């Protein structure tokens, strides 16, 4: 995959085309974004810019927003970029909430929305459930299931919420410094 900036979905007026070109150039000049092979869609409506697509890191998402926001002829920026760590977190959360996959350590990696599942599960039921759960996460474009069969079946475990008494006991035991 290479650096891709997609053309706007609608025809642009002359000032909008000029702004689109300036925004595209500003993002292109930021080497880490260009080198990561990000896919970015730039939508321009008068002086309003919307950034959509995928970037590798949360700092890249933030920096892209700041680069465009600081441009003098940009009125507002809507940052709808999705960073890979956001995808990883969403998939990991979904796997942890599903009773079929929660007891197992399943590593999740993502690159431009393509999720890779890694680890060892006890049977094909869990392997297929993990792929199914990951594929249903809205931020995921596709799933590469590299889970292997092995290990022991783990019964689902419910984690108990820590009691409030433990929190107050800790506060009482901690001396207050003035």
**CATH number of the domain bearing residue 60:** 3.30.300
Q: Range of 49's domain?
A: 4-82
What pLDDT, on a 0 to 100 scale, did the predictor assign at position 176?
59
Residue 172, domain member (yes or no): no
Predicted model pTM: 0.77
Q: Is residue 121 part of a domain?
A: yes
Give the pLDDT band (50/70/90) at residue 11: confident
**Does residue 67 sit in the same domain as residue 113?**
no
Residues 65 and 132 in one domain: no
Share of the chain above pLDDT 90, in %: 70
Is 100 found in the same domain as 70? Answer: no
Quick one: tokens of 47?
A: 């002086």
Burial pattern 39-64, b for ≥16 Cβ within 10 A else e, equals: bbbbbbbeeebbbebbbbeeebbebb
Structurally, how many domains does the chain consist of?
2
């Amino acid at each position: 995959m290479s650096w891709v900036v997609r053309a706007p979905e609608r025809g642009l007026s002359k000032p909008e085309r000029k702004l689109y070109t300036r925004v595209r150039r500003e993002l292109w000049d930021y080497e880490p974004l260009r080198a990561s092979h990000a896919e970015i869609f730039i939508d321009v409506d008068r002086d309003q810019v919307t950034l959509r697509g995928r970037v590798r890191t949360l700092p890249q998402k933030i920096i892209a927003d700041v680069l465009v926001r600081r441009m003098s002829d940009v009125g507002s920026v809507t940052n709808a970029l999705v960073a890979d760590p956001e995808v990883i977190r969403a998939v990991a959360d979904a796997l942890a909430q599903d009773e079929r996959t929660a007891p197992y350590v399943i590593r999740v990696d993502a690159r431009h929305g393509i999720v890779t599942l890694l680890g060892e599960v006890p049977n094909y039921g869990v392997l297929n459930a993990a792929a199914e759960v990951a594929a249903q996460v809205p931020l995921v474009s596709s799933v590469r299931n590299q889970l292997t069969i092995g290990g022991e079946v783990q019964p689902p475990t419910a984690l108990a919420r820590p009691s409030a008494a433990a929190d107050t006991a800790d506060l009482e035991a901690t001396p207050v410094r003035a």
